[in-house]
């Protein structure tokens, strides 16, 4: 994996952490807020894991500045954007688990993608639940 790829993966995790925090601020249900904040922590942790390998390979850490951005639209729009980012990241990282020679990196990426899959499914459940009439919940 080259420097630019690893920087891109770290950047994406930092961006996801920020988006999850924004979504948590918009969540009206406490349990959703807690889940989203937990996912933000997972994304930060993923960035830290990837940064470990970055430091090993390049001798220095990578701490990108994530511009403060706000997704225009509804809470659902924000969740859909996060889900899109997570899915894209999941698919990209998952490819690395098949051809990565460094066993420690491969297993770390596998753990990250497992978390991402759980995030994607949880976001899907939250958005699907928004479509359920209040009387059926």
Each residue of 65-119: pLDDT tens digit? Answer: 888 876 778 999 999 999 999 999 999 999 988 877 889 999 999 999 999 999 9
Tell me which of 130 and 79 has the higher pLDDT.
79
Helix (H, G, I), strand (E, B) or coil at 74: coil
pLDDT of residue 79: 96
- Compute the distance between CA of residue 124 and CA of residue 106 in angstroms, rounded to an integer: 27
- % of the chain residues with pLDDT over 70: 96
- Compute the distance between CA of residue 86 and CA of residue 88 in angstroms, rounded to an integer: 6
Is residue 59 left, alpha or beta, with left meaning phi > 0 and alpha meaning psi from -120 to 50?
A: left
Helix (H, G, I), strand (E, B) or coil at 62: coil
Angle between helices 30-58 and 3-26 (to 10 degrees): 160
Helix (H, G, I), strand (E, B) or coil at 68: coil
* Coarse DSSP helix, strand, coil percentages of the chain, rounded to the nearest 5 percent: 80, 0, 20
pTM: 0.92
Q: Give the rounded distance of the alpha carbon of 80 from its chain centre.
A: 13
């Amino acid at each position: 994996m080259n420097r630019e790829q690893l920087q891109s993966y770290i950047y994406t995790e930092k961006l996801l952490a920020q988006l999850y925090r924004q979504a948590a601020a918009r969540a009206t249900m406490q349990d959703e807020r807690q889940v989203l904040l937990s996912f933000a922590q997972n994304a930060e942790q993923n960035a830290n894991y990837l940064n470990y390998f970055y430091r090993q390979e390049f001798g220095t850490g990578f701490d990108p500045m994530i511009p403060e951005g706000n997704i225009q639209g509804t809470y659902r729009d924000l969740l859909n954007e996060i889900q899109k980012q997570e899915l894209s990241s999941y698919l990209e990282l998952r490819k690395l688990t098949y051809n990565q020679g460094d066993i420690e990196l491969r297993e770390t990426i596998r753990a990250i993608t497992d978390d991402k899959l759980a995030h994607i499914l949880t976001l899907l459940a939250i958005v699907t639940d928004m479509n359920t009439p209040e009387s059926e919940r």
